[in-house]
Structure 1
């Protein structure tokens, strides 16, 4: 009898625990990105790690993020390269290591920008044309330009890498050396 009562008490306790877990509210969604306060930003990419890669990128707030347009040259013809926003707007090191890691204010794993979980600074690879030039037309969702919020990319760095991002290797996609770097500056 005593054994049956103990078993009954365990079943009741387990049932109550499961019921409490089942009725717990789901985790709160991430807060919406803070809107941009700037109208336009610019990143003048300078060569790093002994490369010849350079270019100029314009950043404009658009919808739920920031849109990047511009031209980057000095690549091998038809080559593929990773491009990311990095956490520090410091490109003083010869290999651009002074820019730190990927911009990741929400602590997500690295991944493709279309994946549910990815760094805020993750973008799709860019492809150079037969002349070694890549024309950018990239929308970076979930970030802002200006205002100082956690998702603000002003004052961060735009970094181009020697190889393509594989979108799975942690923490940075196995994209090789940093071949160009620029602080992201607000120009208006």
Structure 2
């Protein structure tokens, strides 16, 4: 019985990521609209590192340029109705993830909410594969939450509201 318990403990230890092991997640990202969730536009690979969370997008079908990229508090990519009864793409994803209740938008390398991620830079062909770093996050922070790609860039400030990223155009839930 003792041998069985020791073997079970060893198996669990080998399967669980520890301090010396990096954890990773692959998240399927879909286009979103006021009508709901659309087709897959690719994946995002997120992995823990000594410097924080390394996020590697492999996305297509986006417009060229900068796109705001955030971890949201919600668990759904569905459209939802706002206070004016208008359907908004990805509104069920709720607001940016702010577990420290900072209520401020300062970027991934500052002391604002932790949902800020580095902007995605999309090539002329609509693809992006450039890694971004989120130094204050790890894969456990992503689980069950929505990753959102916005139509526009991000100023990492509260003016315009939420950094000016604009409409939510793509989303994926980390599981």
Verify same fold: TM over 0.5. yes
Separation in 2, partners of 1:157, 1:136: 20
The normalised TM-score by structure 2 is 0.73
2:63 aligns to what? 76
1:87 aligns to what? 73
Separation in 2, partners of 1:86, 1:55: 19
Q: SS of 1:130's equivalent?
A: coil
Separation in 2, partners of 1:118, 1:176: 19
Cα gap change, 1:74/1:119 in structure 2, threshold over 3 Å: closer, same or farther? same
Separation in 2, partners of 1:36, 1:181: 31
Runs of at least 5 residues in structure 1 that lack an aligned partner in the other structure: 1-34, 147-151
Structure with bigger strand share is 2
1:128 to 122, 128, 138: 122
2:147 to 127, 141, 158: 158
The normalised TM-score by structure 1 is 0.68
Is the aligned partner of 1:112 residue 2:107?
yes
Separation in 2, partners of 1:90, 1:38: 26
2:165 to 149, 160, 175: 175
4+ residue runs over 4 A deviation: 35-38, 50-53
Q: CA RMSD in A?
A: 2.4
Matched residues, number: 144
Is the aligned partner of 1:62 residue 2:56?
no
